[in-house]
Chain A
Amino acid sequence: MGLHMKRWTVNPETWGAVVSILGFVLLWYILTAVLKLPRFDKLPNPVAVFSAWLSPHPQFGLSIFTRGYYLDILYSVGRVLAAFVLATVLGVGLGLLMGWSRVFFDYSFPLVETLRPIPPIAWIPLAVLVLPTAELGVIFITFIAAFFATVLNTLLGVRSIDEVYFRAASCLGSRPRDVFWNVVVPGALPAIFTGLQVAMGIAWISLVAGEMIAGQRGLGYLIYEDYSNLQFVNIVIGMATLGLLGYGSSALVRMLGRRLMAWEGRRRGGAMA
């Protein structure tokens, strides 16, 4: 009996994920294919979307069997990866410096706070104007908001470190750089990873905006192209793909965080975007 129970017990988190996503698809199906509510009947229903998505010979030219689909995914993933790595390196670096040095903070914080609220889309014209290629423009757009989220969370992380750790480190004979590497960096790590998860989400959002306006290829570009061609099934495939990639990339960041912070108890909340 015990063995059978074990076999059939699904971990509650997996169960929750399956129920919520299937529930959403079911609601979508009922609204678009069963009830056919006014205006909802124009939306592609899930059966049409999934059969196109999985078809070897898709009616609208996009499925898991077409080369173009993977090319678009590859472009988007590559851009997000480049932007995210850049945002992490520069954002964590700047955030640590701002938290570490009062003088540096006084000079940099007002500027960061002024630039931070400017939406990524507003940067597009200047990015295209200044950067040598459209590709770099899209990466910059993807980078910029993720960068600010990383800076701010890293800064808050350093600020949240209890004074007693600094005192302990200094009386045990630490030089400033020992304090930096042994107190500031690990102490800020939980908040840094909260920031990186937020940054990853923002990167995908900004990426699509960038690709729609300035890009060649990529999922945002795919959605925009199919909008011009009124191929709504493809748009939904593009959206669903973005959702899955976003989910997967955040999960990777979470996993990396858990590995680096074995000392942390499970689960913490709160983030600043």
Chain B
Amino acid sequence: MSTVRRNFGEFQVTGLTHAYGGVPVLEDCSLEVPRGKLTVLVGPSGCGKTTLINILAGYEAPAGGRVLLDGQPVGGPGPDRLVVFQETALFPWMTVEQNVAFGCRVRGMPAGEMRERVQAVLVKVGLSDFQAKYPSQLSGGMQRRAELARAMVNDPKVLMLDEPFRGLDAMTRSIMQEFYVGLFEEVGRTNLFITHDLEEAVFLADRLLIMTYRPGRIKEVIEVDLPRPRTFQVMATQRYNDIRQHALELLFEEASKAFEAGSKAAFDLVDGLARAAGRQ
């Protein structure tokens, strides 16, 4: 298990309410993202996961409720709470190195210190030899690693990841999951990870938050006590399967609600969950 070092942060979210055009997306949503833990938020598509991250990151102000980071209310976006986005958000006009250095540069870090930090992070994500390339010249997996590097180099109090491995092929995705979990275990930073892939969620998480379908709130918190460091062998254990099965049942209820609400995305999820259950 990782040790808590440096000044990593923790979120306390209470009574968050938000709506788009009269449709409630979040209602009385409360949760905690504890210091040094990997918290995974999982829920059906359209349940408000991305809205929640947008509020925590400061892109949107909630209609109601409170978001505290280490006891202080959060304001606009800032480098203490960085987001790794669903789609790649690397600047296509900058090289990998320029992308990774961007945060340090705009905040006026001295050149020498910046170079040192950037190079250290590039080594960590295995992109040293690719630092002069542009994002379009990298594979999907390398792009995600560059994006992780661009966030990590700023040493945020909390790292938030919104379905960061979406769109990768199955093999790359598995490799990235293991790579990411290794990074987390090494640093022990507070992480909030959003996904609708249950297997990914259980594999990564210290704490699993199951979200309800519209309006979104936390349905249940599952403590995932699988041993760390984690490797894919853990997915063959009974404990992993028990947790997954329990989470699956909870999610299935919510996905069915979404299904009845007629959402196409929800239909896909129910379909996927049914197949996952069948495979058990």
Could you list which residues of chain A lie within 8 angstroms of chain B, going by C-beta atoms? Answer: 164-165, 167-175, 178, 182-183, 186-187, 189, 261-265
Contact = CB atoms under 8 A, between A and B. Distances in A.
Given A173-B106, A175-B106, A167 B85 contact: yes
A172 B91 CA distance: 12
A171 B77 contact: yes
B150 interface: yes
Interface of B: 57-59, 76-79, 81-83, 85, 87, 89-94, 102-103, 106-107, 134-136, 150, 154
Contact of A186 (B83, B85, B91): B91
B150 A172 contact: yes
A178 B59 contact: no
Contact of A182 (B57, B83, B91): B91
Contacts of B94: 182, 186, 263
Closest 8 CB pairs of A and B: A172-B103, A186-B93, A171-B77, A168-B89, A263-B134, A173-B79, A178-B106, A164-B89
Nearest to B93: A186
B59 A168 contact: no
A261 B93 contact: yes
Contacts of B83: 167-168, 171
A165 B91 contact: yes
A261 B85 CA distance: 25
A10 to B, nearest CB: 29
* Chain B residues touching A, majority SS: loop
A167 B89 contact: yes
Nearest to B95: A263
B59 A172 contact: no
B81 A171 contact: yes
Contact of A167 (B77, B79, B90, B106): B77
A251 to B, nearest CB: 23
Best-buried of B92, B103, B107 by chain A (most CB within 10 Å): B92
Contacts of A169: 91, 102, 106
A165 B102 contact: no
A189 B89 contact: no
Nearest to A189: B93
A170 B106 contact: no
A172 B134 contact: no
B78 A173 contact: yes
Contacts of A263: 92-94, 134-136
B221 to A, nearest CB: 27
28 contacts: A164-B87, A165-B89, A165-B91, A167-B59, A168-B83, A168-B90, A169-B106, A170-B76, A170-B77, A171-B57, A171-B79, A171-B83, A172-B79, A172-B103, A172-B154, A173-B103, A173-B107, A175-B106, A178-B106, A182-B91, A182-B102, A183-B91, A186-B93, A186-B94, A261-B93, A263-B93, A263-B136, A264-B92
Given A172-B103, A182-B106, A183-B91, 10 more contacts: A167-B89, A170-B76, A171-B78, A171-B79, A172-B82, A172-B106, A173-B154, A175-B106, A182-B91, A263-B93
Nearest to A263: B134
A165 B89 CA distance: 6
Contact of B91 (A168, A171, A173): A168
A168 to B, nearest CB: 4
Nearest to A177: B106
A172 B107 CA distance: 8
B233 to A, nearest CB: 35
A164 B164 CA distance: 14
B34 to A, nearest CB: 22
Nearest to B99: A168
A58 to B, nearest CB: 51
Contacts of B150: 172
Contacts of A183: 91
A264 B94 CA distance: 11
A174 B134 contact: no
A248 to B, nearest CB: 28
A67 B76 CA distance: 67
Contacts of A171: 57-58, 77-79, 81-83
Nearest to A190: B93
Contacts of A178: 106
A164 B85 CA distance: 8
A202 B135 CA distance: 35
A170 B106 CA distance: 10
B211 to A, nearest CB: 22
